[in-house]
């Protein structure tokens, strides 16, 4: 996906410069904590480590700490830009290590072109780290550095530019050959690119079964052949073949596989046409492949193609490798990452691709189904199963080859891996991917606001929604131009001159004439963009509304309640937040936005709506009705209200897992529930938390965000007849995108509901009228 220069700079610049920070894992709030964290208490683990060096893994973070080391001599597609300029890449690597495998990283940029300096630095740092990831170091220096360090160090050393691409493309190789029914020992492979990745891929493919004599290596000078002098080094010499072929085009005639690690456009359609039947093309140059997916398919419909791009099938992305390889190596305390471990990673990825793909993964990529075959040879990077499959395979290979110092039970280890990231570590993007399956028209009354414009750019780019921006057309376009944003796909509507204006005025008068609104007043009210936007939704000219970054909550929601109105059968709208903890656990808190002092009946509606919201995030709701007492421990009107709401909920939806009243800490503690309240239905703890009033809900949500460093999605407005969502003034661009995605999914569900209603089928929430008498 393309991003603008300013978008990239803004991402790295704020709100804190850079992409990583250090978070303490032990408390340091009191004098006692301080004396434990530092002197004098810190002396005790020091002495233990002095007596037994392996205790460093017990008393320090070394066992989960990797150094990403680079001298900046071969940074991505930028070349030799130097150590300091390469730092954003190394920080990015740290983010990926943490995000995908929960591995902590220090990035270290070495200001030297001398490979011996890099070697010496790594050797001196061995006591600090559990592993070394070499990054963006030019060939042939990278070979020399890694070979030397692997011989002299007792921790894993891994040059991702070499082995990462080899491991991932190796999985695609195995599965591609299987799909076309060829014998790996007989296929002819042509490599274009003889740098670190090209050489490593060739060596890895040989270990997987490709015959050395069936490999031709090409570089910028042409075919690497026996006797060639120009541009040679010992690493290329190993692949020199006795051949009369001299060019890439000549080498590719009747070849089965092309492995490109070179430059954009290096592979032409004619070259692809000259290849054998069912050719396999790995066009892995970044950021643009040697040939595009469309070009390859146009000239050879039978081609299987993989690239490094996420917008094409079969993305060869190194993030499928290094986080999980180090995870497995660190967890068994391996002294090296050897060829067997790399092969295990390749085979794990190849095998995982043949498994049934969970619906949640398909939804994450906006597709109905992913099936093993030509368009799906390797797993997707955001498939959470990769962690369990690959890391456990690497750990097992380490144990089998004798480099593991801390063997583990593989079955237990896989369970441990699953707990590392939590079940919902990607929940913040789930709605986005659902929205992309059927984008809807979302109206933004604050159409000339910078954050709204930036969010709409993202919505268009990711095909999440079809934005409608309200405002003066020239102003909106000029503002977008100043920001460098392409909003060509958005519709801009100026309420002052819109052809819809008169029709909306008369409909607004009809809706509000018995609420004190005259036709003259309706003409004035329509000047309010929130009123105009609400009328668009009411009249079907837009399918959802998102507003609020420049206004008070009440000013935004009032027109929506008066015009769009509540869903039939409900008596209250309410708001909830999805709160995602650092561990990846997800909780839904309500009502955080609307009802100041809800009644027991109101709490029933709030709970049912919030449970429905949780299901939309693919989370089974376990609802706790919160209070300052648990199961009758205090006799107070608030507690009585919550207990009554629980009784009504059991009647309203007998299938819903709900209990209370219960205190918040107990609702989130499965052990406490088991010990103190074995009768409770909240086994395993709650994930939907319904508060007794707005004050407690709103305060708790804000504290979790600021003090608990949790991420939130919302506010999610529930109960409107059509999707309306109110933003906070402090909402970020990402918040706006997430809320817009939720609005789109709401609109999608409204379509389904409308169709069901049309067919005469009733499917509505239980309302107060169907509840037992008080």
- How many Å is the Cα radius of gyration of the chain? 30
CA-CA distance, 163 to 203, in Å (whole number)? 10
Give the Å distances, CA to CA, from 146 to 161, 163, 320, 324, 667.
Answer: 11, 11, 21, 20, 51
Give me the half-sphere count of Cα atoms (radius 13 Å) on the Cβ side of residue 618. 18
Read off the DSSP letter of residue 486. Answer: -
What counts of helices (H) and strands (E) characterise the chain? 31, 21
* Tokens 């150590």 belong to residue: 83
Residue 493 main-chain phi, psi, to 5 deg = -120, 125
Show Cβ contacts of residue 74 under 8 Å, excluding neighbours closer than 6 positions: 80, 136, 137, 138, 139, 142, 161, 195, 196
Residue 336 main-chain phi, psi, to 5 deg = -160, 160
CA-CA distance, 84 to 248, in Å (whole number)? 36
User: Which tokens sit at 427?
Assistant: 């929940």
Residue 100: Cβ within 10 Å count: 22
Beta strands in 635-752 (DSSP E): 657-662, 688-690, 711-718, 724-726
Please, are residues 546 and 540 in contact by the beta-carbon 8 Å criterion?
no
* Tokens 């619906």 belong to residue: 359
Read off the DSSP letter of residue 64. Answer: G
CA dihedral for 243, 246, 247, 250, sign (positive or negative): negative
CA-CA distance, 262 to 243, in Å (whole number)? 22
Specify the DSSP element, H or E, that contains 395.
helix 385-400
* Tokens 């999608």 belong to residue: 748
**How far does Cα 373 stand from its chain's mean position?**
25
Show Cβ contacts of residue 93 under 8 Å, excluding neighbours closer than 6 positions: 68, 105, 107, 133, 135, 160, 322
* Tokens 């027991």 belong to residue: 600
Treating both helix axes as pointing N-terminal to C-terminal, what angle do 600-616 and 637-652 enclose, rounded to 10 degrees? 50
Determine whether 154 is an active site residue: no
Query: Looking at 93, 236, 440, 466, which residue is catalytic?
Result: 93
Please, are residues 605 and 616 in contact by the beta-carbon 8 Å criterion?
no
Q: What is the 3-state secondary structure (H, E, C) of 490-552?
A: CEEECCCCCCCHHHHHHHHHHHHHHHCCCHHHHHHHCCCHHHHHHHHHHHCCCCEEEECCCCC
3-state secondary structure of 86: coil
Query: Looking at 38, 463, 583, 702, which residue is catalytic?
Result: 38
Please, are residues 578 and 585 in contact by the beta-carbon 8 Å criterion?
no
Please, are residues 500 and 470 in contact by the beta-carbon 8 Å criterion?
no
Please, are residues 369 and 410 in contact by the beta-carbon 8 Å criterion?
no
CA dihedral for 396, 400, 402, 405, sign (positive or negative): positive
CA-CA distance, 611 to 623, in Å (whole number)? 7
Sheet of strand 131-134: strand arrangement: 104-109, 65-70, 131-134, 157-159
Determine whether 683 is an active site residue: no
Residue 225 main-chain phi, psi, to 5 deg = -125, 160
Residue 126 main-chain phi, psi, to 5 deg = -50, -40
CA-CA distance, 21 to 18, in Å (whole number)? 8
Residues annotated as catalytic (active site), given as ranges: 38, 93
């Amino acid at each position: 996906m393309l991003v603008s220069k300013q978008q990239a700079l803004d991402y790295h610049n704020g709100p804190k410069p850079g992409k990583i920070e250090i978070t303490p894992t032990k408390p340091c709030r009191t004098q006692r904590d301080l004396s434990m964290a530092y002197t004098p208490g810190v002396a005790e683990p020091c002495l233990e480590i002095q007596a037994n060096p392996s205790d460093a893994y017990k008393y320090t973070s070394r066992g989960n700490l990797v150094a990403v080391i680079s001298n900046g001599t071969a940074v991505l597609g930028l070349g030799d830009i130097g150590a300091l300029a390469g730092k954003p890449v190394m920080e990015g690597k740290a983010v990926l290590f943490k995000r995908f495998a929960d591995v902590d990283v220090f990035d270290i940029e070495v200001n030297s072109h001398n490979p011996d300096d890099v070697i010496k630095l790594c050797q001196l740092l061995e006591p600090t780290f559990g592993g070394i990831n070499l990054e963006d170091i030019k060939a042939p220096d990278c070979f020399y550095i890694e070979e030397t360090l692997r011989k002299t160090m007792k921790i894993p050393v891994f040059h991702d530019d070499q082995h990462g691409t080899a491991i991932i493309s190796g999985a695609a190789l195995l599965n591609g050959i299987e799909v076309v029914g060829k014998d790996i020992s007989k296929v002819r492979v042509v490599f274009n690119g003889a740098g670190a990745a090209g050489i490593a891929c060739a060596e890895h493919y040989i270990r997987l079964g490709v015959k050395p004599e069936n490999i031709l290596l090409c570089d910028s000078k042409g075919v690497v052949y026996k006797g060639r002098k120009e541009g040679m080094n010992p690493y290329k010499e190993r692949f020199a073949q006795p051949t009369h072929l001299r060019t890439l085009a000549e080498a590719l005639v009747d070849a089965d596989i092309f492995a490109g690690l070179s430059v954009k456009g290096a592979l032409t359609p004619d070259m692809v046409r000259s290849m054998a039947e069912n050719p396999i093309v790995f066009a892995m140059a970044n950021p643009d492949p040697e040939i595009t997916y469309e070009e390859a398919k146009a000239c050879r419909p039978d081609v299987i193609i993989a690239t490094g791009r996420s917008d094409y099938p079969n993305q060869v992305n190194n993030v499928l490798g290094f986080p999980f390889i180090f995870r497995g190596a660190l967890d068994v305390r391996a002294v090296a990452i050897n060829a067997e471990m790399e092969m295990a990673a390749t085979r794990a990825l190849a095998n995982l691709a043949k498994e049934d793909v969970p619906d949640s993964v398909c939804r994450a990529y906006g597709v109905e189904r992913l099936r093993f075959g030509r368009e799906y040879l390797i797993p997707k990077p955001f498939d959470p199963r990769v962690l369990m499959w690959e890391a456990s395979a690497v750990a097992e290979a380490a144990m089998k080859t004798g480099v593991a110092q801390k063997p583990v039970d593989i079955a237990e280890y896989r369970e441990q891996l699953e707990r590392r990231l939590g079940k919902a570590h990607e929940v913040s993007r789930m709605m986005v991917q659902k929205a992309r399956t059927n984008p809807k028209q979302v109206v933004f009354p604050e159409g000339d606001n910078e954050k709204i414009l930036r969010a709409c750019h993202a919505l268009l780019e990711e095909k999440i929604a079809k934005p409608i921006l309200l405002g003066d057309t020239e102003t909106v376009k000029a503002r977008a131009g100043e920001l460098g944003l392409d909003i060509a796909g958005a519709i801009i509507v100026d309420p002052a001159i819109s052809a819809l204006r008169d029709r909306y005025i008369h409909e607004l008068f009809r809706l509000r004439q018995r609420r004190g609104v005259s036709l003259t007043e309706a003409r004035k009210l329509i000047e309010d963009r929130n009123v105009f936007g609400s009328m668009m939704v009411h009249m079907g000219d837009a399918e959802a509304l998102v507003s609020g970054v420049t206004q008070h909550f009440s000013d935004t929601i009032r027109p929506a309640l008066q015009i769009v109105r509540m869903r039939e059968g409900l008596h209250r709208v309410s708001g909830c937040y999805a709160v995602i903890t650092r561990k990846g656990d997800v909780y839904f808190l309500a009502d955080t936005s609307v009802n100041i002092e809800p009644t027991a009946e109101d709490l029933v509606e709030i709970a049912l709506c919030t449970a429905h919201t949780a299901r939309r995030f693919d989370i089974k709701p376990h609802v706790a009705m919160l209070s300052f007492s648990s199961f009758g421990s205090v006799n107070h009107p608030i507690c009585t209200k919550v207990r009554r709401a629980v009784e009504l909920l059991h009647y309203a939806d007998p299938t819903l897992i709900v209990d209370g009243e219960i205190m918040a800490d107990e609702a989130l503690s499965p052990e406490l529930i088991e010990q103190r309240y074995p009768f409770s239905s909240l086994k395993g703890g709650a994930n939907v938390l319904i508060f007794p009033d707005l004050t407690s809900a709103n305060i708790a949500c804000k504290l979790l965000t600021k003090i608990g460093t949790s991420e939130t999605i919302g506010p999610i407005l529930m109960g409107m007849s059509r999707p309306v969502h109110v933003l906070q003034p402090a909402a970020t661009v990402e918040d706006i995108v997430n809320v817009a995605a939720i609005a789109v999914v709401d609109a999608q569900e409204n379509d389904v509901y409308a169709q069901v209603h049309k067919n005469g089928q009733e499917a509505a929430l239980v309302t107060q009228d169907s509840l037992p008498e008080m």
